[in-house]
Structure 1
Amino acid sequence: MTSPTPRARREYGIAVVGLVVGAALLLASAGRVWATGDLTAAGPVSAAPVEVTGADLTGVPSGIGWAGLAGIAALHAARGRFRRLIGALLALGGVHSLIAIVGAVRPEALTAAVDDAASVGAARADGVPDLIVVGPAMAAAGAVLLFLVGVLALVRAPSWPGMGNRYDRDAAPRADHTSTPADLWRSLDAGDDPTLDAPGGDTAPAQPAGRAATGDGTAPAQPTARSADSKEKP
């Protein structure tokens, strides 16, 4: 497999940064105040101010934000057509977030969110709540970033570096170079087990010539020179 080009590495780095920034914007926007309003109730009760956060209006941006962070690991681990699939899902997530954001900032949605914040059932929103654009703008920017990164991954991701390329290189068969003790130690340091590739590695070592083992596993005694001399005397 050919190594990734410098252009592919730059694109991969841009995609990772885009996913981190886009996901961070989506997650941060969920905790910001998107609208403020007043709750009024019948009787001599003063209006109570209410703040509505992005999480109160919709949970889509935060969910897509966590998915964007998971997409970083997914792009690094996947390869080929699976990377294109991840890119398509990221792009769809960005579009889905934009649709949810637009729906959440509609006047009727803001009014309903203020009504839901009432602790007393008779309290209702006093007019249309005021929209604070910083929170929705952050969420929209994060959604656009996820969409752009998803489109980039859909087109270019198969050429990016990742875990799959490194594993392919490590999975290539290695030649057995353990002819010397130094080579053996280097092989052990590399994580190889030289005994697995050794021919007949599961059999017992052969006995030296003239030292055949007896039935009880001990070698027979060799005749001494004195016994040979005694046989030659008359």
Structure 2
Amino acid sequence: MTPSAPPGQSEPPGSRRALTVSVLAAVVGGAAAYFTTGRVWASETVERVAPLPPDTVHTTGRDLVPWAAAAALVGAAGGLALLATRGRGRLAVAALLTVAGLAVAAGGVRGLAGDTTFVWPLLCVAGGVLVLAAGVVALARGRGWAAMGARYDAPAPRAKAPAAVGPDAPPAAMWDALDRGDDPTR
């Protein structure tokens, strides 16, 4: 039994590997898609009044499909959130990853449909598919994955000691009061 598995249950074999692969897929896919949306997807030459030369207007993926860049960031952050969540929270993150992956892939397909370059929108679709796959795997298998241990949880509040520490108390009692969160100078 591993320390991070729920009490009475052992971690399924290969679950750490599936968690690692899902996290990496979401982070790499989201980062790659975000990078590709910043590249030039389309260029257009605009004629201007003489004697001005023609002007070339470059349009990035973020200009064409701004939601794809935002969804790519959500995918990258959601991949890291898989590590910090458990139970229903992890399922919510997995569902968010699935939706973000669909949005990124749809943005890339939208870019392919226009008069754009072929490479950057296609890489955006590939990044979206990675995020989507990470979300689907996390939805299917996320409940059995390890979670961060209890040492990362916020400490439970301690009960206050009823006895006040006076100025004539031994130094050890004053240090104990400080450890409890009491102010021994009051």
TM over 0.5: yes
The aligned amino acid for 2:54 is A
What is the RMSD computed on CA atoms of the aligned residues?
A: 3.0
Change (3 A) 1:167 1:39: same
Following TM superposition, by how much is the alpha carbon of 1:38 offset from its aligned partner in structure 2, in angstroms? 1.0
3-state SS of the aligned residue for 1:38? strand
Following TM superposition, by how much is the alpha carbon of 1:140 offset from its aligned partner in structure 2, in angstroms? 0.5
The aligned amino acid for 1:53 is T
Is 2:125 aligned against 1:144? Answer: no
Gapped runs of 5+ residues in structure 1?
108-128, 172-192, 205-234
Structure-to-structure mapping, 1:203-218, within 5 angstroms? none
Is 2:145 aligned against 1:160? Answer: yes
Structure-to-structure mapping, 1:1-234, within 5 angstroms? 1=7, 2-41=9-48, 45-107=52-114, 129=115, 131-163=116-148, 166-167=149-150, 202=163
TM-score by length of 2: 0.71
Query: Distance in 2 between the 1:100 and 1:30 partners?
Result: 9
The aligned amino acid for 1:4 is E
Gapped runs of 5+ residues in structure 2?
1-6, 166-186
| Structure 1 range deviating more: 21-30 or 53-62 | 53-62
The aligned amino acid for 1:155 is A
Query: Distance in 1 between the 2:152 and 2:31 partners?
Result: 34
